[in-house]
Amino acid sequence: MTLIAILIGTLAAGIGSVWLAAALSFGALARYTQHMLSLAAGALMGTAFLHLLPEAFESQVKAHALFMTLLIGLVFFFLLDKAELWHHGHEHGHQHTPEPDHNHEHTHDQDHGHIHGHDAPQSGSWAVIAGDSVHCFGDGILIASAFIADMRLGAIAAIAVLAHEVPHHMGDLIVLNQTSNNRRSALGKVSLAGAVTALGGLIGYWLVEQLQGYLPYFLVVASSSFVYVALADLIPQLQKRLSLRETLAQIAWLLGGIGLVTLVSSVARGH
């Protein structure tokens, strides 16, 4: 039963995030992209601080060891980001448009800070897919860890991964569409990378089962990943000069993300 739940959760997070990203990038939902960033940030922080970390700290592992793991995890993901492995070449905030746009907070720029650090025409599309696949594989392991700890945590983690992968996949779709000028091809390639999340889930199921005593550490590492993405990736994109109405909407969607994972937790607990 746990393995089936892992497969469902990883496929929903991996492929579902790609299709939602496509709707936000190319479809009628494009105007809601900034709201999705706020929602994702809230979901990630809510999952980490309200669910994964409390579950880890309820174990017999000493708090000092878990806090050290959290710190090491944050530094680790920072180093991966610097090495252009974690976000597969995304250099946040460094755009390559020919002219500066001082009013960019009122436009979508199509990339929302997720244009890759290399120029799209020169970048190999399969290099983008390879980097995304590595990221998705890691997400699958994190989801598997959460499901093994508790089915409720697994469902929450899957939603959090789905939310935070959406803006990343949007950047991939835009870059691949620029290189091939074929939206269907771009969607197919990114969907293939998203499906690797399920492979990570399968490996994670076997790995965590073999290392059951280390499950609290897996949960803390998952938390460090979510916290890093929220604070280092998503939140900075929301720090823009906005009107009062836009600011209130941003806060509402952020709180909505936190509320979403809390709602899922309540529903899962009821079952």
pLDDT value for 128: 66
pLDDT value of position 6: 95
In a domain, 100, yes or no: no
What does the pLDDT read at residue 93? Answer: 43
CA dist 136 and 196 (Å) reads 6
- Domain with 119, as residue range(s), is 2-95+107-270
Q: Is the pLDDT of residue 210 over 70?
A: yes
Average pLDDT over residues 255-265: 84
Let me know the angle formed at the C-alpha of 138 by 256 and 34, rounded to the nearest 5 degrees: 30
Tens of pLDDT, residue by residue over 89-139, are 444 444 444 444 444 444 444 344 443 333 433 344 666 677 678 788 988
Q: What mean pLDDT value characterizes the chain?
A: 79
Largest CA distance in the chain: 56
* pLDDT surpassing 60 at residue 29: yes
Cβ proximity of 64 and 245 under 8 Å: no
Contact criterion met (CB below 8 Å) for 24 and 32: yes
pLDDT for res 110: 39
CA 260 and chain centroid, separation: 15
pLDDT at 10: 95
For residue 60, pLDDT beyond 60: yes
Question: Is 173 part of a structural domain of the chain?
Answer: yes
d(CA 5, CA 13): 12
Average pLDDT rounded to a whole number, residues 53-71: 93
pLDDT at 207 over 70: yes
Is position 102 within any domain?
no
Percent of the chain with pLDDT over 70: 78
Separation CA 230–CA 258 (nearest Å): 12
Residue that the structure tokens 């996949």 belong to: 169
Counting the structural domains of the chain, the total is 1
- Whether residue 66 is contained in a domain is answered as yes
- Coil, strand or helix: which one is 90? strand
Q: In the predicted model, is pLDDT for residue 147 greater than 90?
A: yes
> Is residue 101 in a domain?
no
Q: pLDDT value at position 111?
A: 41
